[in-house]
Structure 1
Amino acid sequence: MKIIIAGAYAIGTYLAKLLSRNKQDIILIDDNAENLERVGRDYDLMTIEASPTSIKALKEAGVKDTDLFIAVTPSETANLTACAMAHKLGAKKTVSKVDNPEYIAPQSQDLFHEVGVNSIIYPEMLAAKDIINGLKMSWVRQRWDVHDGALVMLGIKLRENCKILDKPLREISGPDDPYHVVAIRRHFETIIPGGNDTLKLYDLAYFMTTKDYIPYIRKIVGKEQYVDVKNVMIMGGGRTAVRAVKTMPEYMDVKVIEKDPARCEVLNELFDEDKLVINGDGRDTALLVEEGIHNTQAFVALTSNAETNILACLTAKQMGVRKTVAAVENFDYVDMAVSLDIGTIVNKKAIAAGHIYQMLLDANVDNVKFLMTVNADVAEFIPVQGSKITRKPIKDINIPKGMTIGGLVRGEEGMLVSGNTQIEAGDIVVVFCYDVDKKKVEKLFN
């Protein structure tokens, strides 16, 4: 597949990293020579120093033979213009990053299709969805629903109360048990576990289960004492915070702390009257106490500074808040945030790149999520009639190393799989991939 990425900034660079793992034919266009030099040095791709809206540069990049054109520069106007031009010059599919939430409304999609923009990415909305999912279950680091919740993947930090530590997985997660452990993050290592592996204290474990058994999972991992989130405090009033507040469930009460008085005025105009906006510094412990931090179940730090967000979450934890969420846009700080036990880490650039990455898989893929904390993908594959994965039970198929199947949805019913499971064409199959050539995975389903 030939892919052109316009914009060698955070999203484009991270996307190049994801794609370079699969040896895709990638061309990166940007007018910043320093950005291109850094990316070209680290990843296997071709770079062109030029404006992404240059007709000459697009033709030089071979846009007429391009399968996917992705515009992720900081300029919304440049992205939309570049996509329209790329489409007119022959690109099969185009994707544009935007900054205006109006553009992602369903009624706007036909307009953009007419001018040659196939897909719109609004990173702040994608990040807000991740944040809300995290707040709905205070004891879970990450949640991912398959087919409207027919299957659910839960990322959970294991503490002393966990009842299934230090036991071989074959004893606690067999064919008859209502969950599978599909991945483990231990210190800085990712493990795709086998039957002899065990769960250890402070592991971040990823469980695949069905919605009915979420309470059971909560019990065995010792998280029953965690209270549901009703009061939320958000530090930082940027666009991600606005999207999160506007999509927050009605039963949650939210306060937004913002340092800039002018931005506070804007927020008061954007929010309903029941949303409280406070002018102050979210790191000020006296302010936090005054605003009820001791009665708050979740603290969300969404300023533009990763260090500030990490420190604020640590402060909130010391003051008794169980659920903390930190926006960490600097990739260099992600591992540090995880090791400090911050809680849920949100990186809207990685989320956006993962969303675009979904479009690049050749198989019939309905959804894909890149799990930054374990450097792995979890995806919904739909096998076609006669594909290799449907010919034999799973135990008799040579599955690539680094791939594991978490479960499947048949009709509307979610089910876990065992070695004896026979996958059928049309099933929605949840596949976990770590350090594996995606082409080998795709061939199983095509």
Structure 2
Amino acid sequence: MNIIIAGAGKVGFNLAKTLCIGHNVTIIDQNSEALDRIQESLDIMPLRGNVEDSKTYASFTDKDIDLFIAVTNLDNVNLISVLMAEAVLNIDRKFVRLQKEFFHESDVKERLNIDKLIFPVELTSKAISSLLQYPKANNVKFFKYTDYKLISVMVSSRFVPQTFESENFIIVGIERKKDFFIPHDSTVEVLPNDLVYFFGLEEDIRAICQKLELETNSEIHRCVVFGGEELGVSISKELVKVGRDVKLVEEDLALCEKADEALEGKVSIINSKYRSHDVFEDEDLDSADIFIAATNNDEFNIIKCLEAKESGIKKVVAINNEMEYYNLMHSLGIIVVRGPKISAYNTIMEEVSSTGVVIQKSYCGAKAIIFMRKVFQSSGLVDKKIKPLSTEKSALFYVRQDIVYPLTEKMILQENDLIIAFSPTKESTKVKQWIYGL
């Protein structure tokens, strides 16, 4: 594909780094230093230019552009860049990252013929909110073609090792002492401190989570959010929507006042020095059911989560802004939720990789990928005999009439079957070729 990325910040850089493998990628920005860093480390064409000026795109008029991605830090710039690029180029698909939620209420997507709007702050906030529905879970993923969900849970250190087996769920990943693997044996033994990924029906997984996670309360009502910038406010707003009691802690008085206005007085705003541990006792934060560290500093988020655990809060969540901190957070028993930049990157990559044929999502900090293909009447797969892929580290399944079966031998597909592959990222290319080639 011919791909243009407007914006050479962290998201733009990571997208270019991934997409330059197998695609022709051009990244445009006015920041020459950012472009120099990209040119030194990536095999792509950086272009210094104003993405809001149609003249910047003049050199691409002789080719079709398969994908235009606008990921600068300014909403207006992203929207104008789409207008200017489309004025002179033939663009197949357009993805735009936006920070301000009010664009959700507008018809800008339809007016500008944008294929996908990405709201990263909202993605992170809703990921936090979804945890309230699954108090024992670390993370929950939903899918388009099935009611099955991917739910991860951190196993208690007090858990007695045992195996689980059911026709309504399967174990599709275990992170154990920093190592990740996808079990091939349905009776794999679950150990204390494992991070286990279940795929299946919600109620069945909920029952298992109750047996695995022994510390957290069964319901979450009292919430504490550390960080009063845009993300902290957005998270607080989502928590209030679902009827939770929320306290937001911020050391900057001006941000406190701004947050109070945005939250319409529905949240208790606490102006306190972040680095003071006394705030947990002084403000009765230690009685919370969940603690969320939502600043832009991962190291600080880790420290505050550890302080929250020390004060007695059982469920602690850190917003992960830098992927290199992911493993550390997990090893410390902290629930990790993708920050806005990582959410934007992952969402765009999932959109790029997914098609009308196959849905693709990453999990376990992008250590593994799910591929999902539904058998439609018009797909040409009905009554076709398929052969499973021979693989050591991936696992293949199919869902038929809401029951999941291992795909270990030749089978004849039926309408509405769902073919699913769980693969470590390093083996995903082979698995992707197989599922597309069915």
- Under TM normalisation by the shorter chain, which class is it? 0.7 to 0.9
**Deviation per residue, 1:126-168 (Å, 9 max, x gap):** 1111111123323211111234971111111223343544x5x
The answer to whether structure 1 residue 115 and structure 2 residue 112 are counterparts is yes
Deviation at 1:3, TM superposition (A): 1.9
Say if 1:363 and 1:442, in contact at 8 Å, map to a contact too. no
Say if 2:136 and 2:213, in contact at 8 Å, map to a contact too. no
Judging changes above 3 Å, is the alpha-carbon distance between structure 1 residues 76 and 431 closer, same or farther for their aligned structure 2 residues?
same
| 1:434-445 aligned within 5 A | 434=424, 435=426, 436-437=428-429, 439-444=432-437
TM-score (ref. length: structure 1): 0.85
| 1:180-329 aligned within 5 A | 180-195=170-185, 198-223=189-214, 226-248=217-239, 249-329=241-321
Which residue of the partner structure matches residue 349 of structure 2?
Answer: 357
Which residue of the partner structure matches residue 98 of structure 2?
Answer: 98
The answer to whether structure 1 residue 336 and structure 2 residue 328 are counterparts is yes
The answer to whether structure 1 residue 55 and structure 2 residue 54 are counterparts is yes
Say if 1:131 and 1:346, in contact at 8 Å, map to a contact too. no
Which is further off, 227-236 or 325-334? 325-334
Deviation at 1:369, TM superposition (A): 3.5
Judging changes above 3 Å, is the alpha-carbon distance between structure 1 residues 205 and 37 closer, same or farther for their aligned structure 2 residues?
farther
Deviation at 1:11, TM superposition (A): 1.4
Say if 1:180 and 1:406, in contact at 8 Å, map to a contact too. no
Which residue of the partner structure matches residue 80 of structure 1?
Answer: 79
Deviation at 1:92, TM superposition (A): 1.1
Which is further off, 77-86 or 143-152? 143-152
Say if 2:292 and 2:316, in contact at 8 Å, map to a contact too. yes
Rounded Cα–Cα distance in structure 2 between residues aligned with 1:362 and 1:263: 39
Deviation at 1:399, TM superposition (A): 5.7
Give the gaps of 5 or more residues in structure 2.
none
Say if 2:388 and 2:396, in contact at 8 Å, map to a contact too. no
Deviation at 1:120, TM superposition (A): 1.7
Rounded Cα–Cα distance in structure 1 between residues aligned with 2:284 and 2:398: 42
Rounded Cα–Cα distance in structure 1 between residues aligned with 2:144 and 2:116: 21
Which residue of the partner structure matches residue 132 of structure 1?
Answer: 129
Rounded Cα–Cα distance in structure 2 between residues aligned with 1:208 and 1:141: 14
**Number of aligned pairs?**
429
Rounded Cα–Cα distance in structure 2 between residues aligned with 1:160 and 1:389: 47
**Deviation per residue, 1:397-442 (Å, 9 max, x gap):** 226665434664x6xx643222377554444554433221175155
Which is further off, 59-68 or 129-138? 59-68
Deviation at 1:311, TM superposition (A): 0.4
**Deviation per residue, 1:264-316 (Å, 9 max, x gap):** 11111111333211111344222221222231010111112211111000100
The letter of the residue matching 2:212 is V
Say if 2:176 and 2:195, in contact at 8 Å, map to a contact too. yes
Give the gaps of 5 or more residues in structure 1.
none
Rounded Cα–Cα distance in structure 2 between residues aligned with 1:74 and 1:268: 25
Rounded Cα–Cα distance in structure 2 between residues aligned with 1:335 and 1:324: 15
Judging changes above 3 Å, is the alpha-carbon distance between structure 1 residues 222 and 339 closer, same or farther for their aligned structure 2 residues?
closer
Judging changes above 3 Å, is the alpha-carbon distance between structure 1 residues 340 and 75 closer, same or farther for their aligned structure 2 residues?
same
TM-score (ref. length: structure 2): 0.87
Rounded Cα–Cα distance in structure 1 between residues aligned with 2:43 and 2:392: 23
| 1:388-407 aligned within 5 A | 391-392=384-385, 396-398=387-389, 403-405=394-396
